[in-house]
Every structure is written in C-alpha cells, then in structure tokens.
Amino acid sequence: MLRSRTRALALASTVLALALAVPAGTAATAAPRTREARGPVTLVFDKNPEHPTYSKLTAYLGKRVLGQWRAGSGTTTDECRVGRGDSGGWLPNGTYAISFRTRTYDGDAIDGYAIRLADKRCRGGKGANRDQLFIHSRMTVNGASRWRGDRDYKSLGCVKLHPNHIKALFRTLDTYGEAKTLKVIA
C-alpha cells in the first residue's frame, strides 16, 4: 500500500513538473493568443511630384510599416485648386485630423469605403479652403469595385486608392487600431 502511494505521488509530481515546464502558448489549455499591438497608427501620404498618380500611402505603428499602397490625389499638383467638375489639386502638405471611417459612405462623388479628413487651407493657411477631403476609392456604397484602371487614381483632390488597397488599409486599421491623423508630405 505504501508503495502504491509513493508511485502515485511520484507520478503526480512528474505530471505537475511537466505542466510547469511547458512553454506558455504550447499547451492545449494555454490562454488564447492576443491581438497584435494596437495604435496609435499613423498614415502618411507621400506625394510624387513627377508622377502624382504614383504617390504612396503608408500605415505605420510607431516606426513599423504596416502597409504601403499606391495612391493618387487630384488631377494637378496645384494644392489650391478646389475640386470642381472632373479636376482638383492634390492635398496640401500638413497634418490632417481623421474624423471617421466607414465602409458604407453614401456621398455625391464618393461611395463605399471612406476615411474623412479635416478641412485645410492651402499655402500654409493663406490660400483656398480645401474641404470635403477623404481617403477613398472608386466603389459602390456597398463596397463593390467600379475601378476602370490607372486613370481612377486621379481625384477631385482626395487621396485615392485601388479598391483592394483601401480594403487592405481598413483590415490593417481593424487589426492595429484607428489612425488619428494623416500626414501629407512631398
């Protein structure tokens, strides 16, 4: 009887020692993995003066690049040209607050995935007021693509992404946290 108690204690001690030695996250009963580190995410739109429709939008978490996508803005590099008809200037340099993002925007010129940017005056605050600014694509209100090709990178002055790229940007923000600002540089 004493021998079976000793064996049982030895077996229990071995099981306990093995359970404590297993690295966290490898046992079936380990806690579920946590989400990636979250926010603050920063967006940077780097304008390409030589080829405006080959500019870049990059999402950062600190200094880590989360994603980078081709983007366009406007039909001209004149930052004070207010979008009318089918033309507008690209975004003025500076930092823009982000008001909201939605996958179902229903606007006059913009539908579907959209991120609303704050208004900004061009030429260091002394020029025309640029308003109704967004990061968006060419989509329907329910997110279906209406993209026709490279010409769709042009906009009335917003930052414009391919539909697959804005969807990737939204997934990035869903995973890592909301962006509070867009920094525009050239």
User: Active-site positions?
Assistant: 136, 158
End-to-end Cα, the chain, rounded Å: 83
Half-sphere exposure of 9 (CA within 13 A, CB side): 6
| Phi–psi pair at 7, nearest 5 degrees | -60, -45
- Does 49 sit behind a cis peptide bond, omega within 30 degrees of 0 on the bond before it? no
- Give the containing element (helix H, strand E) for 172: helix 163-176
Instruction: Please give the structure tokens belonging to residue 138.
Output: 């060419």
